[in-house]
Amino acid sequence: MLHLWNKRFTYSHIQRITEKSGLRHYSLDGVKVPSVTTILDKTKSQKEKDSLNAWKERVGYSEASRISRESTLRGDKMHKHLEDALHGKQSLDFEALNDAEKKMSEVIINQALEKKLNEIWGCETPLYYPDSHAGTSDLCGVYNNEESIIDFKSSTRLKKREWITDYFLQTCAYALAHNLQHKTNIKQGVILVCTPELEFQEFIIKDNEFLWYQKKFMERVSMYQKQTVNKNE
């Protein structure tokens, strides 16, 4: 996919800081802001927290930890395969060529990227919104002829749209930062999901729905900032 690269923008390095608690922040010129994922995690609704705790109790806390670790590892490996493919890199590792995550990445490439990706602006792109948030977008570019933030997700099972509100909020947060930093007008978020059984899903938010999620994300930022102020008082 090297022919799709259009390096219109210069993406500056942003220092990433992960605290012992697991919370992640980014620092640019010495100014620290929370990551998008930290904001979303710390401002979950009570219903979401209760649902997560109920699942942990149901499967057992040690089993829940094991499942979470495996999911994270699977997602990291799938992302690495996709990043390599976007940069035109070929793996010479026979094991890697045949692992499940490689096959998952190929499903996303075949079902979505090769058919609908028009331009690549950046991959693993650092994005920063002053005094608010920062993060790393999987892919920025043009998808189905629309300027987009594109996110890759591995999942143990097929998703329902109502389950992935945080995914939509995440893409909108990155778009806010990209639009501010680089004077773009991104109004589309794309979520590409694949399961270990190689089931593929595409979710898209755009236009008014996208703007609604951006507003909701900034409300979560305000909530996080209030929590931080109250904690420090």
Name the percent of the chain lying above pLDDT 70: 95
pLDDT band at 19 (very low <50, low <70, confident <90, very high): confident
CB 51 within 8 A of CB 64: no
Domain boundaries, the chain: 34-232
pLDDT at position 78 is 94
pLDDT, tens digit, 9 for 90 and up, residues 125-181: 999 999 999 999 999 999 999 999 999 999 999 999 999 999 999 999 999 999 999
pTM of the model: 0.92
pLDDT, tens digit, 9 for 90 and up, residues 200-212: 999 999 999 999 9
Instruction: Tell me: pLDDT of 189 over 60.
Output: yes
Fold that domain 34-232 belongs to in CATH? Lambda Exonuclease; Chain A (3.90.320)
- Mean pLDDT is lowest, of 68-72, 83-87, 121-125, 139-143, for 68-72
Say which amino acid occupies 181: Q
Strand pairing category for 146-154 and 188-194: parallel
pLDDT at position 2 is 75
pLDDT at position 30 is 84
pLDDT, tens digit, 9 for 90 and up, residues 21-50: 777 889 988 889 999 999 999 999 888 888
**How far is 71 from 68, CA to CA, in rounded Å?**
5
Instruction: Tell me: pLDDT of 94 over 70.
Output: no
**10 phi, psi to nearest 5 deg:** -100, 115
